[in-house]
Structure formats: structure tokens, C-alpha cells
């Protein structure tokens, strides 16, 4: 299946809502009035696109009406273009260092960190590179088992320790193992933590300090995993995590399960952090590099 088709299928729910809402407004009053614009604005906000991009779309639609007259304005085309502009400065490629690239995967509980770590290992592997997984969520015994299961399935070595072990010690061992294997990537799965818990944020800082001591410059990427179904709450998570550990990018998961996909646009616009990958399902190849153009197209494609 092509990338566009994947985006389209994964974004189906958001597409349905967004297109349905815009159609309702536009066909309900084919001649644009102040009231229609207000309705359109409400529809875009309801789709979680955020204030900034919504205002951008509304003023572009207004302008089109002023120059073109009050009928025949392509509202969908305008919305698509403005969304693409909002997302366009997103650099998505995973950083690639000479030698080993260490990627730390962080976020609150249940957002999809472990799954994303496995999917990323699968992704670099399918591009001919080698990966190692570090099971640094030692807090929950099941987390290590879950990662090992993925490792078995994908044939990726998983470095793990005992339940309750110091995550920094596991990370240290994982770097040693990855270097010994000449692996190109080490993906570190960390324990879920609430962005409001100071001590857990400090633990994460310590983890990254130990990683940096073992391998200068590492972690080269710190990816925050956000669950799209949480909508705008994800924005707060991102702000707090970014304060504690500088993030290099975001991964937005579970877009297939929500009509709130517009939140991707809001988050990118608000935080200025690149969305590097999006999760469109539970399988290994359901993680896709983010692409602004394909995303905007897929939101509106029939």
C-alpha cells in the first residue's frame, strides 16, 4: 500500500468529521455571510485544528470571497492549502549520526512508547540498518515482556534487566551492547510518567545524563509520544516534557482511532516542534514518517 493510501485510511475518522462539518456549513449556505464564517470557524475548531490555523483558514476564505464574489469559493481547497502551510516546516527524518544513534522515547503512560520503539526498530531495519532495543521501563514487569515479544517478532535484540532495576543502568548496558554489535540505532523505551510529577521528570533527566556520559552527544533524539485521542491535553504534556528534557521531535499515535486528527496541526503550530512520525495502527509498519503534504491531502481526499 502506498504512503498516501496509508495516510488516507489512518485518517479516515478525522477526514469524515472535518469534511462532514465543512460540507454542512458550505452547502447549508452557499452564499457566504458573516454567520456562515462563524459557523465555519466553529467547525474547524471542533475538528481540533487549533485557533491559529483556524483563523488563517477563515481569513483566507474571507479574502477569496472578497475577490471572487460570494459563490464558488473552494473552501476545501483553501483549508487544505492553509493546513499544509501550517505544517510545512516540519523536518521529519530521524537523525543519523556516524556510529550509533541513540533515540530516547518518552511520554505519559499508555501513549504508545513501547509500540513506537518497536515500530522504529522495524522501520530502520527495513531500510537495511541494524537496531537494538533498550527496555528501560523497569517499573512494570509487563513492559519488558511486551518489548521482548516485539524483539522476537522483529528479530531485534532487546537489552533488559530485572524488574525494578535502575533504568539508567539498563541504558548503560544497552549502549555497550549496541556498540559491540556495531548497531546503527538504539531505541530506548522509557517508563510512562506524568508530566506533572517533578521527581519522575528528574529521573528522566538523570537517565539522559547517564546516557550522555556513556556516549557523548547521546541521546541524539528525544521523541515525545503523544496519544492523538487525548486531543489538546497533549499540548500540555508536550510543553512540560520539553521543559524537563529538550525534545527533538514528536510522535503522534492512534490517529486511526480518533476524529481529533486536527490536533496534529494545532500541536505543530503551537510548539514549533517537528512531528516526526505518526501512528496509524497497531502493526509494525503502521508508523509512518510525517509528511505535511500527504497529511493535508489525505484529510480532504474523497
Ligand X SMILES: Nc1nc2c(ncn2[C@@H]2O[C@H](COP(=O)(O)OP(=O)(O)O)[C@@H](O)[C@H]2O)c(=O)[nH]1
Contacts with ligand X by CB under 6 A lie at: 107, 109-115, 192, 225, 253-254, 256-257, 279-282, 286
Q: Which is nearer to ligand X, 59 or 109 (CB)?
A: 109
Q: Which is nearer to ligand X, 40 or 118 (CB)?
A: 118
Question: Min. distance of Cβ 56 from ligand X in angstroms?
Answer: 28
- Assign 3-class secondary structure to 201-233: HHHHHHHHHHHHHHCCCCCCEEEEEEEHHHCCH
User: Which parts of 84-113 interact with Mg ion (CB under 5 A)?
Assistant: 113
Please, which residues have CB within 8 angstroms of residue 38's CB and are 6 or more apart in sequence? none
The cell numbers describing 15, all together, are: 477526514
∠ CA 282-238-160, nearest 5°, is 55
- Interacting residue with Mg ion among 54, 56, 114, 190 (CB under 5 A): 114
Please, which residues have CB within 8 angstroms of residue 292's CB and are 6 or more apart in sequence? 84, 87, 88, 90
Query: 268 touches which of ligand X, Mg ion, none (CB within 5 to 8 A by kind)?
Result: none
Q: Which is nearer to ligand X, 253 or 268 (CB)?
A: 253
Yes or no: say if 234 and 261 are a contact pair by the CB < 8 Å rule.
no
Strand, helix or coil at 141? helix
- Interacting residue with Mg ion among 103, 143, 255, 275 (CB under 5 A): 143
Q: Which is nearer to ligand X, 78 or 118 (CB)?
A: 118
Nearest residue to ligand X by CB is 279
Question: Min. distance of Cβ 212 from ligand X in angstroms?
Answer: 23
The cell numbers describing 146, all together, are: 511486551
Query: 256 touches which of Mg ion, ligand X, none (CB within 5 to 8 A by kind)?
Result: ligand X
Question: Min. distance of Cβ 223 from ligand X in angstroms?
Answer: 12
Please, which residues have CB within 8 angstroms of residue 98's CB and are 6 or more apart in sequence? none
Q: Which is nearer to Mg ion, 86 or 114 (CB)?
A: 114
Q: Which is nearer to ligand X, 266 or 280 (CB)?
A: 280
The cell numbers describing 125, all together, are: 531495519
Question: Min. distance of Cβ 62 from ligand X in angstroms?
Answer: 36
Amino acid at each position: 500500500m502506498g504512503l498516501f493510501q496509508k495516510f488516507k485510511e489512518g485518517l479516515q475518522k478525522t477526514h469524515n468529521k472535518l469534511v462532514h462539518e465543512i460540507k454542512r456549513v458550505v452547502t447549508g449556505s452557499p452564499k457566504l455571510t458573516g454567520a456562515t464564517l462563524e459557523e465555519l470557524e466553529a467547525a474547524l475548531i471542533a475538528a481540533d485544528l487549533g485557533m491559529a490555523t483556524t483563523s488563517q483558514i477563515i481569513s483566507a476564505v474571507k479574502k477569496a470571497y472578497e475577490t471572487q464574489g460570494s459563490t464558488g469559493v473552494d473552501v476545501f481547497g483553501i483549508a487544505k492549502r492553509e493546513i499544509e502551510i501550517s505544517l510545512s516546516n516540519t523536518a521529519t527524518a530521524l537523525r543519523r549520526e556516524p556510529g550509533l544513534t541513540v533515540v530516547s522515547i518518552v511520554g505519559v503512560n499508555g501513549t504508545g512508547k513501547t509500540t513506537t520503539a518497536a515500530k522504529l526498530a522495524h522501520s530502520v531495519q527495513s531500510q537495511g540498518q541494524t537496531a537494538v532495543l533498550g527496555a528501560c521501563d523497569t517499573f512494570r514487569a509487563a513492559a519488558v515482556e511486551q518489548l521482548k515479544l516485539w524483539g522476537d517478532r522483529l528479530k531485534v535484540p532487546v537489552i533488559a534487566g530485572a524488574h525494578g532495576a535502575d533504568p539508567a543502568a539498563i541504558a548503560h548496558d544497552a549502549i555497550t551492547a549496541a556498540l559491540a554489535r556495531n548497531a546503527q540505532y538504539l531505541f530506548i523505551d522509557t517508563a510512562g510518567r506524568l508530566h506533572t510529577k517533578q521527581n519522575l521528570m528528574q529521573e528522566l533527566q538523570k537517565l539522559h545524563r547517564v546516557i550522555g556520559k556513556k556516549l557523548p552527544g547521546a541521546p541524539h533524539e528525544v521523541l515525545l509520544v503523544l496519544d492523538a485521542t487525548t486531543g489538546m491535553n497533549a499540548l500540555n504534556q508536550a510543553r512540560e516534557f520539553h521543559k524537563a528534557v529538550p525534545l527533538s521531535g514528536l510522535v503522534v499515535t492512534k490517529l486511526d482511532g480518533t476524529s481529533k486528527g486536527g490536533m496534529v496541526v494545532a500541536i505543530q503550530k503551537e510548539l514549533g516542534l517537528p512531528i516526526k512520525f505518526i501512528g496509524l495502527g497497531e502493526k509494525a509498519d503502521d508508523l509512518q514518517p510525517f509528511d505535511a503534504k500527504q497529511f493535508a491531502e489525505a484529510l480532504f481526499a474523497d
